[in-house]
Amino acid sequence: MADDRPTLEQIMRVSSGGWAAAILAAGAEHSVFTHVERGADTVAALAKQAGISPRGAGALLDGLTGLGFLTVTDGHYRNTPDAAEFLVEGKRSYFGGFARVALSEFADWQTLPEAMRS
């Protein structure tokens, strides 16, 4: 018999979607996938190449790993196949700009509850 009890899964997935989008946009903004593809595959190397702090680089790499865009083994990060295909700058299939645009529109979406009043 299937468990038909209500869960918070869908609510949490949708509610936290903005966080995932922001992490992906930050990765695209700082060319993480391009740097990793070109060999900056550690926290220190990425921080240097991207011009960001080591702490920020570590948090970003771990966030992108958690979202499934990177893998990590012994402190070395690699792009997943999707990231390698669509998030490395210069490739014809590059789609990282979409994540950046989506993030830039978040402020507009924050006004949606108020817009419903008018």
Of the candidates 21, 94, 105, 104, which has an alpha carbon nearest to the alpha carbon of residue 64? 21
List pLDDT tens digits, range 14-56.
988 899 999 999 999 999 999 999 999 999 999 999 999 999 9
The Cα 98–Cα 103 span in angstroms is: 9
State the SS3 of 5-57.
Answer: CCCCHHHHHHHCHHHHHHHHHHHHHCCHHHHHHCCCCCHHHHHHHHCCCHHHH
**Helix (H, G, I), strand (E, B), or coil: what is residue 105?**
coil
Model pLDDT, residue 1: 58
In sequence order, which residues have a C-beta less than 8 Å from that of residue 80 and are 6 or more positions away?
A: 68, 69, 70, 71
Of the candidates 19, 20, 54, 51, which has an alpha carbon nearest to the alpha carbon of residue 35? 51
Do residues 106 and 55 make contact, with C-beta atoms less than 8 angstroms apart? no
Instruction: Flag whether pLDDT at 72 surpasses 80.
Output: yes
**Structure confidence at residue 101 as a pLDDT band (50, 70, 90):** very high
The Cα 33–Cα 56 span in angstroms is: 15
